[in-house]
Structure formats: structure tokens, C-alpha cells
Amino acid sequence: MRSLPAIGLFALAALPLPWLTGSGTVLNLATMVLLFATLGQAWNLLGGMAGQFSFGHAAFFGTGAYATAIAQIRFGLDAWSGFAVAILAAVAMGALVGFASFRFRLRGSYFALVTLAFAEVARILANSLEITGAGVGLLLPLAPGLDRLQFADKAGYYWFALVICAGGLVLASLVRESRLGARLAAVRENEEAARALGVDAFAVKMQAILLSAGLAGAAGAFYTQLFLYLDPHIAFGPQVSVEALLGPIVGGTASLWGPVLGAAVLQLLGEASRALTGGATGANLVAYGIVLVLIVRFFPDGIIGMGRARTADARGVTG
């Protein structure tokens, strides 16, 4: 696969960060960048590659986060099995959302609204069911150790996040360079034409949402391991869905690296805006909103698309 060397290089370059900095803030920030890069990559498998814009990726993230917490707390599973359960549960959620939307040919804003509705229903359910701890949420016992996927220091979590992020990059690059990737692009560009050429649009969109949900579920399970605490708003709240789609759109949906770049820019921006406003709540969201408007208005192909747009202009190409 063509992108594998680049992914290897990225992982290798990111590996020594904990040895280079003693700052906990920097490591925290880097870990959050990797987490949201993974969530963005998950969103991009469906939104960027297949053109199906989800506004409810919190449904998958939250399902993964809760699934591992419930598996460990209520069923006594170990954290590794919990992680696997989280991915499977998120995939099942993806199957449900995908079937409910794609079976009935929902596209565009209708699809976005249905995904949002699923995430909200999940949030309300988590808020009222006993198994999810209702409004109180779930607390995992602190017990550091690799067998419990908990780490005594920030470096351990950073490397854990790096592994998941690299895994997401490998998954996305495999899809990109495969038959599935070609078919997803065809469905994104013109679904009718794709069907005329033998592409089963329903089947390929289902495959995309299953992969996307599974990766988002992995990101959710990582969140649980990192903070050891969940409540319905953290797991299923709309800001999770917004973070999932904002990164790829800002970074560039057409590229494997768009979600990574977007997550880095947004997390740095969020941190800066919090620092500038003295930690005002929602300051990061205001900054996100401004960046989103500017990107959509001036660089619809994202930050990665900036260079390309300029060369295309120079050639006199439009459209």
C-alpha cells in the first residue's frame, strides 16, 4: 500500500514526544489531538469518502465508550475484551443507523438529521437507563496496568492513542486504495451513475458506516480508559458529533491526513482560545465556528486543499 511508509514515518516521528517534553500539558494536548484525529478519520470514512455527512457520530463514539465501561463494571470483563466489545457494539450501532437510513435512500440533510436523532436518542436513553448509570454516569476503578489498559503516566496514554490513530490511518488507507474506496468515491460523486455501472450503493454505504462506526467506537473506548468516567453528555453529546466532522472538514476530507491536520489545528485553537479568555466555557466552540466559516467560504477543500486550489487556479481550471 502506497501510504504505509508515510504512516510508519508519522508514527516513528510522533513516538519520542514524551521523551522530548516534560510538560504534562503538551502531552495531554497531543493525546487529545490523536484521539480526535481518530474520531475524525472515522467520520471521514463515511463523510469524506462516501459523501454521507453524519451529524451524529457521537452515537458510535458513545456506544463504544459505554460498552467497554459496562462490560468491565457490570460484567467483570477485562479491559482488552471490553475494548473489543466496544468496537463490536459500535459496529452494531452503525448497522442500525445505516440500515434505517440507507435502506430508505435517505441522503444529504435527511441522513444528517437521522444520525443526529440517533445520537440524541442514545443520549436520552443513557440518561435514564440503570445499566448506563443514568445521569450520574459510570466510574471505572483506577487500577493502572497494561492488562487493564490503564497507565500510570501520561506517556502511556499518549502511546496508546498513537497506536489507535495509526491503526485508523492504516484502515483508511487500505479502504482508499481498494475496490471499496473506488466505489465509495463513485457513490459520493454520482449515485445513479455508480449504480448504472454495477455498484450496489446500499451495500457499499453499509460497509462504510460499519467501518466508520467501529473506528469511532475504538476512539470512544479509548476515552473511557483515559478518563475512567462517563456521563451521557460526554459520550453522546452533540459536541462529540461536531468535533468528529469539524476536523476532517477543516483539514480536508479528500486526504488521508486531513483529519489529523484538522484535529491538530482545532485542538491548538481550542487551547489558545481557552487561554486567551481565561478558561471561559464555550470559547473553543466560538473559535471553531469562526474557523469553519472561513474554511468553508475560502477553502472548501480544507487546509490540505489550499495548495492544490492555488495550483489549479494557476492552470485556469475551475469547478
Binding interface with other proteins (CB under 8 A): 177-179, 182-183, 185-186, 188-190, 192-201, 254, 317, 319
Measured between alpha carbons, how far is 245 from 302 in angstroms, rounded to an integer?
12
Give the three-class secondary structure for 65.
helix
Task: Answer yes or no: are the C-beta atoms of 204 and 180 closer than 8 Å.
Answer: yes
Give, in degrees to the nearest 5, the angle at Cα 200 between 196 and 201: 90
Q: How many helices (H) and strands (E) does the chain have?
A: 15, 2
In the complex, least distance from residue 188 CB atom to other proteins, rounded to whole angstroms: 8
Taking the least distance from each CB to other proteins, the nearer of 82 and 251 is 251
In the complex, least distance from residue 101 CB atom to other proteins, rounded to whole angstroms: 18
Rounded to 5 degrees, φ, ψ at 92 are -65, -40
In the complex, least distance from residue 202 CB atom to other proteins, rounded to whole angstroms: 9
- 3-state percent helix, strand, coil for the chain, nearest multiple of 5: 75, 0, 25
Taking the least distance from each CB to other proteins, the nearer of 184 and 263 is 184
Task: Answer yes or no: are the C-beta atoms of 305 and 254 closer than 8 Å.
Answer: yes
Taking the least distance from each CB to other proteins, the nearer of 200 and 313 is 200
Alpha carbon distances (Å) from 267 to 29, 58, 229, 295: 7, 18, 21, 16
Give the three-class secondary structure for 301.
coil
Taking the least distance from each CB to other proteins, the nearer of 128 and 190 is 190
In the complex, least distance from residue 63 CB atom to other proteins, rounded to whole angstroms: 31
Taking the least distance from each CB to other proteins, the nearer of 51 and 270 is 51
Measured between alpha carbons, how far is 50 from 188 in angstroms, rounded to an integer?
5
Taking the least distance from each CB to other proteins, the nearer of 154 and 183 is 183
In the complex, least distance from residue 233 CB atom to other proteins, rounded to whole angstroms: 37
In the complex, least distance from residue 250 CB atom to other proteins, rounded to whole angstroms: 19
Task: Answer yes or no: are the C-beta atoms of 244 and 220 closer than 8 Å.
Answer: no
